[in-house]
Amino acid sequence: MGSSSYEGNIVKEAEEEIGLIGIQPVLGPKMRIRGRYNFFDQIYTLTIDLPVEDFTIQEEEVEQVKWFTRAELTKAMYMHPEDYLDNIGWCMENL
């Protein structure tokens, strides 16, 4: 896996920014997003069972790591949609 690939970058950034080592993200869809922001989005998923305390965050890049339920995220998106990218609803429905 090359360091300039999406997967290479996600592995590198996960290690640098939140302290996850040796992850194996699963490739998901790639899509073009048009809305408030226009960008390409390559989605990866990762299942991991670690307590929040096991993450080591790079404070210049990450404010916090937090686990939440789908219901909590749905409520937060409804209450403050401006805090979320436009395609997060699609991710909630399809992943």
Tell me the average pLDDT of the chain. 89
Say which residue, 71 or 87, is predicted with more confidence. 71
Are the C-beta atoms of residues 31 and 94 closer than 8 Å to each other?
no
CATH of the domain at 37: 3.90.79.10
pTM of the predicted structure, to 2 decimals? 0.74
pLDDT digits (tens, 9 = 90+) for 57-81: 999 999 999 999 999 999 999 999 9
- Full residue range of the structural domain in which residue 66 is found: 6-94
Pinpoint the alpha helices (H) of the chain: 6-18, 70-79, 88-94
Answer yes or no: is 49 within a domain: yes
Task: Kindly state the DSSP code that residue 21 receives in the 8-state scheme.
Answer: -
- Specify if 22 maps to a domain: yes
**Structural domain includes residue 21:** yes
Q: Could you count the other beta carbons within 10 Å of the beta carbon of residue 15?
A: 15
Instruction: Say how many domains are in the chain.
Output: 1
Cα(first)–Cα(last) distance of the chain, in Å?
24
Q: Note whether residue 1 is domain-resident.
A: no
Task: Say yes or no to pLDDT of 50 above 90.
Answer: yes
Q: What are phi and psi of 68, to 5 degrees?
A: -150, 155
